[in-house]
Structure 1
Amino acid sequence: DIGIRHPDLAGAYLAGVECDGATYHSSATARDRDKVREQVLRGLGWNIVRVWSTDWWFDLEGCTERLHASLAALLEESRRKQAEQQESEAAIHWDMGHKVDPMDPLPAEDLASAGEPEHPSIKSEPELVAAPLATGERPSASAGILPAAAHSTHDTVPTGGRYRLTDLTGFSTSPDQFYDFVYRGTLRSMVDAVIEQEGPLRDDVLAQRIARAHGWLRTGNKIRERIDLHLREFDRTEESSGSFLWKRGTVVDLLDYRMPFDADARRSIADIPIAELAAVVVANEDILEQSDPALDLARLLGVERLAAISRSRLDEAIDRAQRNLAST
């Protein structure tokens, strides 16, 4: 009957208070219905506290104290769990929700500039690929990455474009209404906007975009669950770095690599779908002739230090590119 807002977490509730009367519960059907409702609410993560009207009427002060004590205990337990979770996360370095392995520097001989390199390296920060081109410039051989269509005869490869972050400032966001039924239209519109602008992209990256738009620095399970309700209409591809969301009917084996629109739009290798990475290899087949194709691909993308988990993902892209080339 009453929702108690959590004092520490915007948009979250500490508990639900149900006010029950003796007359109402004289019916067996009502009691059964209440039990089912409580089970459903607890299954959704709610803490339920009951207040009996008889107690409230005859012992208002005592009933109030017991209610306050119950809520205080729930708050203390919630804060304890939050503190434990923060301590656990502080010991691990995370990159967009994925644990980052220690990165090995490139071999000295690979960093030496002996003459003109076969693939001019694009300077960027470690683990962020492909620094943006100048405004109006298109990906080309001189930029270090060729458009996949330039060397590919596959008509399944869509036209590439720029990857830019979705501007969600135009939406009227309300953290307090995030979990309310009436807010579902706003959430769905935000999901559609991100997928339209950035898809294919990982579902956890999508959730982070929407969480940040609401002012939240963390994306908890409840936020993810609420957003996931609006993802059923999209296609998915399950990859080693996570689940990628695509607009319905657009999943392909090769997808033209999308250069970042600006520095903020640079992605880590884990954030780029295999279809894009494989398209870069198909567009630059001589990568396959190198002694270390994954390392050469990383340098082409502008990655200066290659983590083990990123190397594994680039190997996946190379395998897909080889299969694609062998079938043509």
Structure 2
Amino acid sequence: MEEVELQLRLNPEMEEFFSSSRNEHFFVKNLETIQGDERDVIFLSVGFGFDEAKRLSKNFGPLNQEGGERRLNVLISRARERCVVFVNFRASDLDIEPNAPFGLRALKTFLDYAENRNLQSLVQSSEDTDSPFEDSVYSFLRSNGYEVRKQVGCAQFRIDLAVVDPNSPGKYLMAIECDGAKYHSSPVARDRDRLRDQILRGLDWKIHRIWSTDWYRSRRDSEAKLLTALKSARESNAQNASGTMEAEKNEHESHMLDQDAPVADSYQQAPVDNGISVDDYKTCTDLPFTNHGDLHVQNPKKLALNVIRVVEAEGPIHFDEMVKRIRSLWGLRRTGDRIINALRKSVDVAKTQGEIKARGAFLWPRDLKTPKVRKRNEEPRPDIELICPEEIKEAVRLVLKSQFSTVPDELSVATSRLLGFQATRDDTNRKIQEVISEMIQSGELEEMPNGLIHFK
């Protein structure tokens, strides 16, 4: 708090954001006192970590106690949009045992996700393997000095054997998949695991498969290939770690050189880079009929010309957005009931003339069948209730054409980014998920047993 007070003295223009009379003012709280408060962005500082001797204690105060995971859950769920974590160690530095306190295991999982977007299961690895074949591979790895954990993960993403990285005990070096004869002869199983492997590799898992027939018929060959793969993985990890340390050193040196330079405000919700380009939303900039006195007393047929112009420029457009555009171009600041009623009559005239069509609250150009996906920036600001379901569907199709298949939440986020949302709030996600469900029910999309969604 002393540092905050110092910065406020240096930047007095920020004081209004700290006033207790302000709705959702800035606060500093600890793990025990934050319950009940929410903010769009939460800065989370982990007060435990490496000491001056580079020792990392596994004592994290309340998290080590019973119910520590609930306190952590309360803390990290206070952020509506973004949680920024400050900590002097990585998740991989925190080497914890399977029987460590649940709160400590939850912290490691959270830090791993914050750093790598890698959400691991908190289910403990099993002590049992599925077959004598796996037992044999496990014993071989142990005899060569590797620490191995069995049945890591859950459901269809459970890994037979996971080899711990000896240079970073909090990470896995490689996943070993032990496939029996039935698997080898089953094209369905191979196709299913091809997609599963793709997902795991996307999460930075290195995977090595061993066939049971090869293991027993060409044992020395299989053992040599396994050790070579592990050696290659260790060398790759060591190079990556060296590169990361060098990059961090350069970044630190650069920061030290530039510490007196003005700092630009770089805050924004991190975008999803899906490699898809869409046009920006373009608003109507002029009206054929305007500035002839009070809007609500104008001839509905004359006002219908304005409605048609806005719908042709921005359709499909929500009725409320159309009203806002005409009001603004007319030079008005507010919209009353009389103006809304006048424009409703004008919409009816335009529909009767066959110049526009209506689908629910959305107004469409006469000949438009399929809407373009448009990215909303400052004007209009993105509002999911003001975007028609047909445009949301088109955005979903663009994402799936690019990614082929993805899980529902990621599909929703990528879709929202195409439409201009910098953050995907609950109401936005809910609306997009409703559209995705409709596409699944209509048979256009299919949700596979592993949760991925793709074109049917």
Instruction: Please state which band the TM-score falls in when normalised by the shorter chain.
Output: 0.3 to 0.5
TM-score with structure 1 setting the length: 0.46
TM-score with structure 2 setting the length: 0.35
